[in-house]
Structure 1
Amino acid sequence: MSDNDFILVDEEDKENDGHGSHSDPDQKSEVVSAENTGKGSTSEEKDDREYEKVCFICHRPESITGKMIDLPNNITVCPDCMQRSFDAMTNGSVDLSRLMNMPGVQLFNMSDLENMQPKPRTVKKKKEKPKEFHKLDIKDIPAPHKIKAKLDEYVVGQEYAKKAMSVAVYNHYKRVATDTMDDIEIEKSNMLMIGPTGSGKTYLVKTLARLLDVPLAITDATSLTEAGYIGDDIESVVSKLLAAADNDVEKAEQGIIFIDEIDKIAKKHNSNQRDVSGESVQQGMLKLLEGSDVEVPVGANSKNAMVPLTTVNTKNILFICGGAFPDLEEIIKERLQKKTSMGFNSELKDKFEHDKDLLSKVTVEDLRKFGMIPEFLGRLPVIFTLKPLDKDMMVKILKEPRNAILKQYQKLLALDEVKLDFDEGALSAIAEKAMEKDTGARALRAIIEEFMLDIMYEIPKDDSIGEVVITREYIEGTGGPIIRLRGQEVPRLE
Structure 2
Amino acid sequence: MSEDKDKINLPADEDPKAEETDSDHKKDDEYEEVCFMCRRPESKAGKMFELPGNIHICSDCMQKSFDTMNNGNMNYSDLLSQLPPNVSMIDLSSIQKQVPPRQRPKKKSQDKTKETKKQFSMENIPAPHRLKEMLDDYVIGQEYAKKVMSVAVYNHYKRVFSSREDGVEIEKSNMLMIGPTGSGKTYLVQTLAKLLDVPLALTDATSLTEAGYIGDDIESVVSKLLAAADNDVERAEHGIIFIDEIDKIAKKKNTNQRDVSGEAVQQGMLKLLEGSDVEVPVGANSKNAMVPLETVNTRNILFICGGAFPDLTDIIKERLTKTSSVGFQADLKDKYDDEPNLVSKVTTDDLRNYGMIPEFIGRLPIIFTLDALSEDMMVEILHEPKNAILKQYKKLLSMDEVKLTFSEDALHAIAKKAMERHTGARALRSIIEDFMLDIMYEIPKDDSIGEVVITKEYIERTGGPRIVLRGQEVPKIGMQ
Judge same fold: TM > 0.5, yes or no: yes
Cα 1:415–1:29 shift into 2, 3 Å: closer
Partner of 1:39: none
Distance 2:324 2:82 in 1: 97
Alignment check: 8 A CA contact 2:139 2:188 kept: yes
Q: Secondary structure at the match of 1:28?
A: helix
Aligned residue for 1:200? 184
Structure 1 residue runs of 5 or longer lacking an equivalent are 1-15, 32-51, 54-60, 68-82, 95-126
Matches within 5 A, 1:304-453: 304-453=288-437
* Alpha carbons 1:242, 1:252 under 8 Å: kept: yes
CA distance in 1, matches of 2:330, 2:82: 99
What residue in structure 2 maps to residue 130 of structure 1?
109
- Out of 22, 32, 52, which is 1:28 matched to? 22
Q: Is the 8 A contact 1:141 1:174 kept in 2?
A: no
Q: Tell me what 2:254 maps to.
A: 270
Number of the residue aligned with 1:107? none
2:200 aligns with 216
Residue of structure 2 equivalent to 1:142: 126
Partner of 1:464: 448
Cα distance between partner residues in 1 of 2:294 and 2:120: 23
Distance 1:19 1:448, change over 3 A: closer
The answer to which of 161-170 and 137-146 deviates more is 137-146
What residue identity is the alignment partner of 1:197?
Answer: T
For 1:192, give the aligned amino acid.
L
Cα distance in 1 for partners of 2:334, 2:246 equals 30
Number of the residue aligned with 2:96: none
In structure 1, what is the Cα distance between the partners aligned to 2:327 and 2:453?
59
1:153 is aligned, of 137, 148, 157, to: 137
CA distance in 1, matches of 2:236, 2:129: 26
Q: Secondary structure at the match of 2:294?
A: strand
Report the equivalent of 1:287.
Answer: 271
Alignment root-mean-square deviation, CA: 3.2
8 Å contact kept, 2:404–2:453? yes
Q: Which amino acid aligns with 2:333?
A: K
Of 226, 235, 239 in structure 2, the residue corresponding to residue 251 of structure 1 is 235
Q: 5+ unaligned residues in a row in structure 2: which ranges? A: 1-6, 26-48, 58-75, 88-105, 476-480
Which whole-Å CA distance do the structure 2 matches of 1:87 and 1:485 have between them? 84
CA deviation after TM superposition for structure 1 residue 489, in Å: 6.4
Which whole-Å CA distance do the structure 1 matches of 2:386 and 2:161 have between them? 31
Aligned residue pair count? 400
Question: In the superposition, relative to structure 1, how do residues 29 and 319 fare at CA in structure 2: closer, same or farther (>3 Å)?
Answer: closer
Measure how far apart 1:484 and its partner are.
Answer: 1.0
The one-letter amino acid of 2:109's match is P
- Within 1, Cα distance between the matches of 2:256 and 2:267? 19
Distance of 1:219 and 1:445 partners within structure 2: 22
Give the SS at the match of 1:337: helix
Is the CA contact 2:272–2:298 (under 8 Å) kept in the aligned structure 1?
A: yes
TM-score (norm 2): 0.77
- Output the TM-score relative to the length of structure 1: 0.75
**1:164 aligned residue (136, 140, 148):** 148
Letter in 2 for 1:416: D
AA aligned to 2:188 is L
1:340 and 1:478 map into 2 onto residues whose CA distance is 52
1:20 and 1:485 map into 2 onto residues whose CA distance is 62
SS in 2 for 1:154: coil
Maintained 8 Å contact 1:136/1:177? no
Could you tell me which residue of structure 1 aligns to residue 281 of structure 2?
297
Q: Which has the larger radius of gyration?
A: 1
